[in-house]
A and B are shown apart, each in its own frame.
Chain A
Amino acid sequence: MAMGIIKASKLVFDYIRQDEDDHIEEVNRAIDGVDVDIREGDFVAILGHNGSGKSTFAKQINGILLPTEGVVWVSGMKTSDDSHIWDIRKTAGMVFQNPDNQIIGNVVEEDVGFGPENLGVPTDEIWRRVDESLAAVGMTAYRLKSPNKLSGGQKQRVAIAGVMAMKPKCIILDEPTAMLDPNGRKEVIRTIHELNKKEGITILLITHYMEEVIDADRVIVMDDGHLVMDGTPREIFSQVRRLKEYRLDVPQVTELAYELKQEGVEIPEGILSIEELVEALISLLGDDAGGQKENVD
């Protein structure tokens, strides 16, 4: 059977705290037996409360952390195999929460070129990649600007361009919108959807904002180091009570639809958008509204 771009098998990871004499003081199991296979080209969202293990999982994918037990493969390469580590990091790029911690260049284009330059890519090729990456995230107009003059959303797009310039097959974003305002959040989410559709880049998006998840191909929920739910957004969000048990939430319209269903209103499960809810309610109430109007006439 063909393996996906990212595959974890019986993955376990312990954070180990040692005292000054290297004696183990505390072992904290952050990932506890995760099996997952991610198909190339998918847009996958990972949900889970703070401390559920999702960021630790993300760091396993590009070898920032290595498994305590089990195996992680990226494009068929084992992350525990030292000789592949640079190929793995080129294949799977990471974007973190705080844009200010990720930008190092004084000029946008310089920042984007930093990655490929570090990889020893020839100069012409670096510039070509910088051009392409900035275009892909819609930041070409800012290439000569200083990054510290940009908004949070723009900075994150520059950080994404910096990863794109390494020509990854997959980008892992660990709460890239947590520090942004609603417009910045939309900018970043729109950008990564475009990279996914146009460039075929596999996206792993870790987020606490449920609204950012509804257009994903697949949603994975983690709790206490385990993978506890795995399905389409509709399948996941139809289980409102279970999500709340995992300290998560659902979009407001999903919650309203769920509450109405609990009261006996026959609404389809897993409503995800305003449009869907309005449509469902009109089909339940609409005929009758028409009927009433006739009566009034």
Chain B
Amino acid sequence: MSIKAEHINYLYGEGTAFEQYALKDVSFEIRDGQFIGLIGHTGSGKSTLIQHLNGLLKASSGKIYYNGEDIYQDNYDRKSLRSKVGLVFQYPEHQLFEIDVFSDVCFGPKNQGFSKEEVESRAREALMQVRLEERFWHQSPFELSGGQKRRVAIAGVLAMRPEVLILDEPTAGLDPRGRDEILEEIAVLHRERGMSIILVSHSMEDIARYADRILVMNHGEKVFDAPPKEVFRHDKELEQIGLAAPQVTYVARRLREQGIPMPEDITTVEEAKKAILVLFDRRGKKSMSNDSRKAGDKI
């Protein structure tokens, strides 16, 4: 599968005095199995952009191709596009409504017209993918914790077996462990199912850890499109548009400025740790314990 956007423009209030570009000449191609991080401050056009990718919004001009097919052509099946490109909105648990978890997850595939058996088998699979224990399946979704509700909502999208999964800040409002668990589940969908992922997030640390490519939006325009290591090298430009690099990237930069030879492409704790340990090793100064440290100092 692939999604290709060509010169997408989207105007609010077209033809009025308040006409304003929400997206301006945005082009890119997302190929099979990529994990994309989509970043940009509030109002940069991220949410507008993702709603174009499954046809919820129609571009004022420009084209979008899904698997090479123009989704705006007259006979294109946009309904089935919405199940192939699954979109998990912000705070998706606000959209839960059924009397129990299982029925809620069944809603999507049921609407797609599958048999009862198929619907239920998809719902079971989806709930297992988000690792929601079976004892919760027949409870009201409203009795679950925040993290569990969020999982149910994600399962509702997964039950439609999308090829591409787009998530708009899926970890907002969760506690740290809850955040890690959701991200880990998304990473598994990507790794083991080959699902393409587009993750909208404000956490540069999370993006650096999971994405293999970052799209940066500002004022409706795409300003960067590159692997994390390259994008985060531009920390100054990112700051100018209200973003930042991960903390460890700054640590590496400051050390470099002090003449300590740190690599330029540090974006995760793991990488920083490795690079710093190499420095200590190289200098025979890896002060294991108090004694060896003192000995090391004298050398």
Contacting chain B: which of A33-41, A118-126, A165-173, A250-258? A250-258
CB distance from B261 to the nearest CB of A (A): 8
In whole angstroms, what is the CA distance A98 to B10 when docked? 29
One digit per residue, 1 when the CB lies within 8 angstroms of any chain B CB and 0 when it does not, for chain A 104-129 equals 00000000000000000000000000
Q: Check B286–A49 contact: CB distance below 8 A.
A: no
CA distance A293 to B283 in the complex (A): 13
Collect the chain A residues with CB atoms within 8 Å of residue B283's CB: 285, 288, 292
Q: Nearest CB to that of B252 among chain A residues?
A: A278
Query: Do residues B173 and A179 form an inter-chain contact, with CB atoms below 8 A?
Result: yes
Check if A253 sits within 8 Å of B285, measured CB to CB.
no
Q: Is the CB of B42 within 8 A of A151?
A: yes
Provide the A258-297 mask, 1 if CB < 8 A to any CB of B, else 0.
0110011110000000110110011011101100110000
Q: Is B277 in contact with A265, judged by CB distance below 8 angstroms? A: yes
Q: How far is the CB of A109 from chain B (nearest CB, A)?
A: 24
| Per-residue contact bits, chain A 92-112, to B (CB 8 Å; 1 contact, 0 not) | 000001000000000000000
Inter-chain contact B269/A259, CB cutoff 8 Å: yes
Q: List A contacts of B30 (CB < 8 A).
A: none
Which of A62-70, A180-188, A231-239 participates in binding chain B? A180-188
**Which of A208, A210, A253, A293 is in CB contact (< 8 Å) with B259?**
A293
A286 & B286 in contact (Cβ 8 Å cutoff): no
Q: Is the interface of A mostly helix, strand, loop or mixed?
A: helix
Contact of A286 with B146 in the complex, beta carbons under 8 Å: no
Say yes or no: is B227 at the interface (Cβ < 8 Å to chain A).
no
Q: Which of B145, B205, B289 contacts A252 (CB 8 A)?
A: B205
Residues of B with C-beta under 8 A to A260: 273, 276-277
Which residues of chain A are within 8 angstroms of B244 by Cβ–Cβ distance?
A: 182
Choose one: B146, B172, B248; the contact of A50 (CB below 8 Å).
Answer: B146
Q: How far is the CA of A164 from the CA of B290 in the complex (A)?
A: 52
B-facing residues in A170-215 (Cβ within 8 Å):
175, 178-179, 181-184, 208, 210
Contacts of B279 in A (CB 8 A): 285
Question: Provided the pairs A50-B174, A181-B42 are in contact, do residues A264 and B288 lie with their beta carbons within 8 angstroms?
Answer: yes
B250 at the interface (CB under 8 A from A): yes
**Given A252-B205, A264-B288, A266-B287, A281:B260 Cβ within 8 A:** yes
Judge whether A265 and B145 touch: CB under 8 Å: no
Q: Is A76 an interface residue (CB 8 A)?
A: no
Q: Which residues of A contact B177 (CB under 8 A)?
A: 49, 244, 247-249
Residues of chain A lying within 8 A (CB to CB) of residue B269: 252, 255-256, 259
What size tier do the contact residues of chain A reach? 35 or more
Mark interface residues in B168-181 (1 if CB within 8 Å of A CB, else 0): 00001111111010
Within 8 Å of chain A (Cβ to Cβ): is B251?
yes
Q: Determine how close the nearest CB of chain B comes to the CB of A245; give it in whole angstroms.
A: 10
B176 touches A285 (CB 8 A): no
Q: A152 near B42 (CB under 8 angstroms)?
A: yes
How far apart are the CA atoms of A293 and B173 in the complex, in Å?
A: 49
Q: Are B258 and A282 in contact (CB under 8 A)?
A: yes
Q: How far is the CB of A129 from chain B (nearest CB, A)?
A: 30
List the B side residues contacting A256 at CB < 8 Å: 248, 251, 269, 272-273, 276
Q: Which residues of B have CB within 8 Å of A284?
A: 280, 285, 287
Q: How far is the CB of A173 from chain B (nearest CB, A)?
A: 15
> What separation, in Å, do the CA atoms of A103 and B273 have in the docked complex?
46
Residues A278 and B251 in contact, CB atoms below 8 Å apart: yes
Q: Are A265 and B287 interface neighbours, CB within 8 A?
A: yes
B251 with A274: CB separation less than 8 A: yes
Contact (Cβ within 8 A) A50 B145: yes
Q: How far is the CA of A116 from the CA of B109 in the complex (A)?
A: 52
CB distance from A240 to the nearest CB of B (A): 12
Select the residue from A51, A178, A179, A264 with max chain B CB neighbours within 10 A: A264
Q: Are A289 and B247 in contact (CB under 8 A)?
A: no
Report the minimal beta-carbon distance from B208 to chain A, rounded to whole angstroms.
10
Among B233-281, those with CB < 8 Å from A are 242-244, 246-248, 250-251, 254-255, 258-260, 269, 272-273, 276-277, 279-280
Q: Report if B82 contacts A (CB, 8 A).
A: no
Which chain B residues border A183 with CB–CB below 8 Å? 41-42, 242
- A residues contacting B by CB (< 8 A) are 48-51, 97, 151-152, 175, 178-179, 181-184, 208, 210, 244, 247-249, 251-253, 255-256, 259-260, 263-266, 274-275, 277-278, 281-282, 284-286, 288-289, 292-293
Residues of B with Cβ closer than 8 Å to A?
41-42, 145-147, 172-178, 180, 202, 205, 242-244, 246-248, 250-251, 254-255, 258-260, 269, 272-273, 276-277, 279-280, 283, 285-290, 293
Give the 4 A-B CB pairs with smallest separation, nearest first: A249-B176, A247-B177, A264-B288, A252-B247
